[in-house]
Amino acid sequence: MSLAFLDTGPRDGGNTIVFLHAFPLNQGMWQPQVAEFGATNRVITLDWPGFGASPLALPGNQKGMEGYAASLCELLDQRQVDSAHICGLSMGGYVAFALCRLAPERVRALILCDTRAGADSPEVRQGRLEMAKLIGEDGQHGLEQLIEAMLPRLLSETTRASNPGLVEEIREMMRQSRPEGVCHALHALAERCDSSDLTELIGAMSTGATIIVGADDRITTPAEMRQLADRIRGASLVTIEKAGHLPNLEQSNSFNEAIWEALRRSPQ
């Protein structure tokens, strides 16, 4: 099984950056970053199983965030990438943590956006499992309910008021997810382990970490992201104004500038 992916840009000279998408979107969310970085850097994006154009099954029947991280390693093997800048947003960040546990040597530098190291609270976990049950029973109809519940929480007020086209684009991207893939991901989210213990390891990576958060993110708040940055030695924190949980789409210029800065801090 192979994940759907994009591997673009020059093979020599620049950095290799792998962008890991959020739930329940797909690699299409990285379009502004592919456009910005793909001319001078090798850029890889991918769809998690059951999202975008990827098939449902994980290689070797692996489950959870560890399964996603293993499928990422398999793709990196296939593309002959030893290590890369890993940029994960929200669920993509959870997979980046799992990758640090599974294969830290593949992480050249870490960029963690709108994510958290901790596991879910019992209430959040319960909510996810109920949603998975609903989608398991109601398929696309259940998925629509999830989308309409999530959409207003994902974006800043500024984005919702000033960029209805982006709101619609994100809704459509979510609709490309398969209900079974979303169910699997909800279980993976609910069952993911606490990665707080990894902050020491990440701080010890000589290349340093960059933490990015939308100033108006209500899902993974700036306060939480500051705590994460404080726990990682040498990490730098960038707050993107007028953005919610998806700053790479909502304020792509500021977000891209933060990535350029991360590349300057830890070049190839």
Structure-token pair, residue 200:
């020491």
Q: Whose Cβ is closer to ligand MLT: residue 10's or residue 118's? A: 118
Query: Of the two residues 15 and 199, which places its CB atom closer to ligand MLT in the complex?
Result: 199
**Least gap, CB of 61 to ligand MLT (angstroms):** 23
Number of residues lying near ligand MLT (CB under 6 A): 7
Site for ligand MLT in 113-172 (CB under 6 A): none
Query: What H or E segment, with its residue span, contains residue 179?
Result: helix 179-191
| 189: contact with ligand MLT by CB under 6 A | yes
Sign of the CA dihedral with 262 first, then 74, 172, and 224 last:
negative
The single residue among 16, 45, 54, 90 that binds ligand MLT, judged by CB under 6 A, is: 90
Of the residues 23, 37, 68, 255, which one makes contact with ligand MLT according to CB under 6 A: 23
CB atoms closer than 10 angstroms to residue 105: 8
Min dist CB 128 to ligand MLT, Å, is 8
Residue 247 CB, shortest distance to ligand MLT, in Å, is 12
Which residue number, 131 or 238, has a Cβ lying nearer to ligand MLT? 131
Answer for the pair 48, 88: CB distance below 8 angstroms, yes or no: no
Whichever of 106 and 245 has its CB closer to ligand MLT, that residue is 245
| 242 SS3 class | coil
Cβ at position 221, least distance to ligand MLT in Å: 12
Phi and psi at 19, nearest 5°, equal -105, 130
> Which of 5/23 has CB closer to ligand MLT?
23
Contact assessment for residue 220 and residue 116, using Cβ atoms and an 8 Å cutoff: yes
248, 87 contact by CB (below 8 A):
no
- Nearer to ligand MLT (CB atom), residue 151 or residue 219: 219
- Under DSSP, is residue 214 helix (H, G, I), strand (E, B) or coil? strand
Report if residue 219 touches ligand MLT, rule: CB under 6 A. Answer: yes
Q: How far is the CB of 78 from ligand MLT (least distance, A)?
A: 24
Residue linked to tokens 């899902």: 219
Count of beta carbons in the 10 Å neighbourhood of residue 59: 15
User: Using CA atoms, how far apart are residues 202 and 212, in angstroms rounded to an integer?
Assistant: 16
Could you list the residues that contact ligand MLT (CB under 6 A)? 22-23, 90-91, 189, 219, 245
